[in-house]
Structure 1
Amino acid sequence: MLPIILLSILGLLVLFLGFQKSKNILLPATLLVLVITLIANFANWNDAPSLYFKGMLFENKLTMAFSGIVLISALLISALTRGFIDDEAAQPAEYYAIMLFSLVGAIIMIGYENLLMLFVGVEILSVSMYVLTGSDKRNLRSNEAALKYLLMGSFATGIMLFGMALLYGATGSFNLTALKSYVLTNPSPSVMMYVGLLMLLIGMLFKVSAAPFHFWTPDVYDGAPTVFTAFMSTIVKTAGFAAIYRLLSGSFSGAYTFWWSTLAGITVLTLLAGNITAVYQNSFKRMMAYSSISHAGYLLLSLTALSSQSQDAIVFYSLAYSLATISAFGVLMIVGKETGVRSNEVSENFNVFNGLGKKNPLLAFVLTVSMLSLAGIPLTAGFWGKFFVFSSVVERGLTWILIVAVLMSAVGIYYYFKAVIAAYMREGEGNAIKVPQFYRLVLIVTTIITLFFGLLPDLLKGLV
């Protein structure tokens, strides 16, 4: 668990760098910390699975893969935060430090072996997100989003904690291995265990924006500064699904007949709520919020099936979704800034992309690839992500839920293509948009990786 130690110590160092007169060192220092942590994360790739901190945390190839996705996402998003330095009212040292500390929570959520560590990880990540959501103190919508997130998140955490208490009361342990042993050795587990599991799942499903626990998502995504919207829509979701997968596959696979129907109902509801509601959105950020809900539904498909292909499917889908989402929000940040649209304004809608194909062909291409990947169009990583997820469902034989997912994928094409149509088929006002060299590099990298895994998807299969 070297990444946790590095992020904790080096995050404090970045915070103290804020006392320097010049802020220019903060972004390079943050990127360096993330690169060092990413290298350290894969340093033990070939080692046997290990337990750390008195058996509270677990590390194997799966946890390292999820942690790697989280760290790569953080690295790419941090590279798009140059605006912190230019904004005199911003506190970049605090922002960067909180981002690094939030990654500690995400990695703990991914590698927990004890439910108490899951709670600690969730709280570290959640509190960091509450603060970052309301970081634009001059914007009332940002303040409102932070308050909603805090209040609803607190209730969800309380439900999750009560579920953990019930599980402990039923099994006598918080340890995942002990929970698994209890489920396997008790053909008819107590009602307390079932209720505890459901309450724990409710708390976790809130974090990943699954319906009907998704109502906070549109307002929070829309009100938060765009860069932090990108941060929470990728890192929080990846860590959340990694935590749920380890809980269900590691401890409660023996109780599959109990929880699969509940999770299947939530999956269908999430797919319907996310995709259908996204069709009616005029704001690009709100569309991406409902898109995030719909992608939570696709990831839930693999959890509902919990077949031999689920693990690879969730890892691949998380990477594909994160890359496409970062590309989309990166383009929005650049276009919004160049066209004079201040972050969090209602005018951050599809019209901001009008004529982008002429103003900056590169940005239009990056936006197009990201939308195609999110829609699951062939030759992008997103297509194979959905293919692997659907394959895991087929293996379990859940044909009816697969039909719903395929139909909702068709609906998704409609609202994702709104941005592409605006970029290429509508006339826009203003001059050509210039992209800073560093931003250009980040967007090119995310686009190339999206297309690369769209052409060679099998490179990641079997690694974990």
Structure 2
Amino acid sequence: MLPIILLSVLGVVLLFLGFLKSRAVLLPATLLFLAVTLAVNFLDWNKTYLYFNDMLRTNNLSMVFTAIMLGSAFMVVALSGSFMDTDEAQPAEYYALMLFSLVGAIMMVGFENLIMLFVGVEILSVAMYVLTGSDKRNLRSNEAALKYFLMGAFATGIMLFGMALLYGATGSFTIAGIGAYAANQQGLSLLLYVGLLMLLIGLLFKVSAAPFHFWTPDVYDGAPTIFTAFMSTVVKTAGFAALFRLLSVSFEGVYGFWWTIMAIIAALTLVVGNLTAVYQNSFKRMMAYSSISHAGYLLIGLAALGVQTKQAIVFYSLAYSVATISAFGVLLLVAQQRSTQTITREGVNSENFDSFNGLARKNPLLGFTMAVSMLSLAGIPLTAGFWGKFYMFSTAVERGQIWLLVVAVLMSAVGIYYYFRVIIAMYFRDGATETIPVAPFYQYVLLGATIITIGLGIAPGLLQGLF
């Protein structure tokens, strides 16, 4: 509750700070606001409260998911200093929208009522539509925003219709009430099953699961890189937290109906995401399909929905978010440097794999940071990503879903190929990359993300027992 109030108020404060003549105060103010909100988030640790007429719940699990999203937002904002050097940019509005989107994300994490889930999804989505099209002079950004808005509107409509059908079947919008009805196991209305499917379609769209993923490559590619990083971490974490809460509380009683559907969608998402990423030449589009594939790994945990699922989703969300932000942070610097150079080779631009050629030789820190993030996303041992996949695979084994485990392992092997393309380009190819100046605070963020990735890879038990 307190993070929602703080973010709402501080977002409005940022809009007023935008009237100042100097932009210098905006970035540190936003970082301070996020840090304060992150600290306040843990004031109610080991306590459970219900707010807004029992429509929103805060407990240890919701606070952990909120902390992951706030921490991800903090790192993304810390990498956004380029806004201050661009005359067309409106950093006050950008930062305020990011804070407002976090309000919606927190509602999605702790909802107790489907109406609160809908409000959270809309607050998050509307802010992301605007941020996606924030580069108004870029046709790709405009196209991405329009596609995201239109397809998101249809997905939201389907989700809302599903909620209406669930109310018609159960007479309740609360997830506990729906869960009590579903647990009855006898005389269940057909509306319950249809409503569940429609609700899942809306949420699976938000997390880029196949076959509802078609918007993802164009939107990720067209949106400004800093907002792509925000979208691929905060939005995905909120979406899977909402899915876990919905399925574990409301529909565990009809697990036999929906687990096969989720397992098939997980397998399809893994195949589509990994195989399509192999053919990409743009790093951003590769990361878009990578995001789709990682949605598939997270769906494995939901399809299994066992004792380890909660721990697995939290760990995987943290590992994926940190590695993804590191990768986009390095891309931002490389793209800025390449955009200032005259590139004569045909087919080379600031976002292609070739732009990383020779990066590690003259920029060891950037090369090492990118290498660790790619290794983690690929699931290589001694990185957090390895244990994230291990926990997910363990949930499938626990439920006896061996066929899904086989698909996931094979697709992990495919993923190693396209992630290692970046590492090979940085360390084993010659390029025109020059030394890239990196601001001290920027370095601290990249180093911090790298330390978290390696630390959780060496000691994955650090998060156990927290919730």
1:346 deviation in Å? 5.6
Match of 1:300?
299
Match of 1:4?
4
Percent identity of paired positions between Structure 1 and Structure 2: 69
2: CA distance between counterparts of 1:430 and 1:413?
25
Match of 1:444?
447
2: CA distance between counterparts of 1:373 and 1:21?
42
Question: Is 1:434 matched with 2:437?
Answer: yes
Instruction: Determine helix, strand or coil for the equivalent of 1:214.
Output: coil
Alignment deviations for residues 193-247 of structure 1 (CA, whole Å, 9 cap, x no partner): 1000000000000000000000000000000000000000000000000000000
Match of 2:364?
361
Alignment deviations for residues 135-165 of structure 1 (CA, whole Å, 9 cap, x no partner): 0001000000000000000000000000000
Report if aligned partners of 1:372, 1:380 keep a CA contact under 8 Å in 2.
yes
Instruction: Determine helix, strand or coil for the equivalent of 1:205.
Output: helix
Report if aligned partners of 2:359, 2:431 keep a CA contact under 8 Å in 1.
yes
The alignment yields a C-alpha RMSD, in angstroms, of 1.0
Alignment deviations for residues 298-321 of structure 1 (CA, whole Å, 9 cap, x no partner): 000000000100000000000000
1:462 deviation in Å? 2.4
1:433 deviation in Å? 1.4
Letter in 2 for 1:39: A
Report if aligned partners of 1:312, 1:462 keep a CA contact under 8 Å in 2.
no
2: CA distance between counterparts of 1:431 and 1:233?
29
- 1:162-241 equivalent positions in 2, closer than 5 A: 162-241=161-240
Letter in 2 for 1:315: V
- 1:275-314 equivalent positions in 2, closer than 5 A: 275-314=274-313
Alignment deviations for residues 178-207 of structure 1 (CA, whole Å, 9 cap, x no partner): 011111124241111100000000000000
Question: Is 1:458 matched with 2:461?
Answer: yes
Match of 2:150?
151
1:431 deviation in Å? 2.2
Alignment deviations for residues 93-147 of structure 1 (CA, whole Å, 9 cap, x no partner): 0000000000000000001000000000000000000000000001000000000
Match of 1:13?
13
2: CA distance between counterparts of 1:231 and 1:104?
14
Match of 1:378?
381
Runs of 4+ in 1 over 6 A off after TM superposition: none
TM-score by length of 2: 0.98
Report if aligned partners of 2:356, 2:433 keep a CA contact under 8 Å in 1.
no
Question: Is 1:272 matched with 2:302?
Answer: no
2: CA distance between counterparts of 1:232 and 1:407?
27
TM-score by length of 1: 0.98
- 1:238-257 equivalent positions in 2, closer than 5 A: 238-257=237-256
Match of 1:35?
35
1: CA distance between counterparts of 2:350 and 2:70?
31
Report if aligned partners of 1:102, 1:129 keep a CA contact under 8 Å in 2.
yes
Letter in 1 for 2:40: A
Match of 1:409?
412
1:430 deviation in Å? 4.0
Letter in 2 for 1:181: A
Report if aligned partners of 1:341, 1:348 keep a CA contact under 8 Å in 2.
no
Letter in 2 for 1:31: L
Alignment deviations for residues 239-260 of structure 1 (CA, whole Å, 9 cap, x no partner): 0000000000011001000001
2: CA distance between counterparts of 1:56 and 1:253?
20
Instruction: Determine helix, strand or coil for the equivalent of 1:128.
Output: helix
Report if aligned partners of 1:226, 1:329 keep a CA contact under 8 Å in 2.
yes
2: CA distance between counterparts of 1:181 and 1:433?
58
Instruction: Determine helix, strand or coil for the equivalent of 2:183.
Output: helix
| Aligned residue pair count | 461
Instruction: Determine helix, strand or coil for the equivalent of 2:50.
Output: strand
